[in-house]
Amino acid sequence: MVPLRRLLPALAAAAAIFAFAPAARAEVLEAGNAPGLCLDFGGGQGAIYRCTGSSTQDIGLPQRGSGSLKVSGSCVAAAGAGQVLYLARCRSNRDDQRWLYDSNGALVNKNGLCADVEGGRRREGTRVIAYYCNGRANQRWTVGGDYDGGYPPPPPPGGGYPGGGDYQTALLTPMHAPGMCLDVDGGSNRLIIFTCHGRSNQRFSFTTYGETEIQVGRNCVTAPSSTGRQLYVARCTGAYSQRWSVQTDGTIRSASGHCMDVDGASRQPSAEVQLYRCSGKTNQRWIAINR
């Protein structure tokens, strides 16, 4: 047995190290409509309170893309529209616990709802609920602390989404089929390829940095609920299914990690554009043509 007197110097050195170690900073989320008030899970439910960096405000955010929001070992869950956010045991297969912190500062649940300061109120104790995404200030959250998820800071109130990066409006042509462009079928609002003509149903707006909506007119490109099904356009809501990222290899990937794909690598007009497992083949690689 080692005599206690021989252990004392080592114990004293270890105590000195811990005494002078810098404290970890909290990752707090400040409400966009209520400066100085932060998302807080005291009592296990979401509300806004004065920002203190306490353990109930220390929120672990996903490092790029989607993932869980963790508070003291539990995960933030969304029960449904109008219901308060709450802490639950973490389960990796639960969609109600998967979140995306997007480049506009919104926290978007995989069920398509956003973390929302109820009623846009600015009072301490106001509930934070899941609600239909609308892009307003009470659904925007500014990160403080050590978060380095890779997104640029959220734009100022009133700034439009997409945010950051090289914003452009362009035609999108699949690499395997020159002369064909991504096209919204006017009869169905579904995506196809068609001979490039440059009219409004072929002009898509997006950003090349991080997560983006892909807008055409007043609508957004929307992913279906499963692979092998055709993409379509719908009213822009900020839903999880409307989040995309434009990769440097030309692939366009959904928030779920699947790719925009010309079905069967067809080169024929009106060929369907679907959501499919990424392969890197030329029928999944798109070239932006600015004109």
Mean per-residue pLDDT pooled into runs of 10, the chain (291 residues) = 42 35 55 92 94 89 72 92 94 85 78 88 94 86 59 35 55 90 93 93 80 87 94 89 87 92 96 95 88 60
151 domain residue, yes or no: no
Number of domains composing the chain = 2
pLDDT given for residue 279 in this prediction: 92
CATH code: domain of residue 71: 2.80.10.50
0.85 exceeded by pTM? no
104/192 same-domain check: no
The number of CA neighbours under 13 Å toward the Cβ of 226 is 1
Q: How far is CA 221 from the centre of its chain?
A: 15
72 domain residue, yes or no: yes
171/285 same-domain check: yes
pLDDT given for residue 259 in this prediction: 95
With beta carbons less than 8 A apart as the criterion, state whether 139 and 128 touch. Answer: no
Query: Which residue range is the domain that position 180 belongs to?
Result: 167-289
268/236 same-domain check: yes
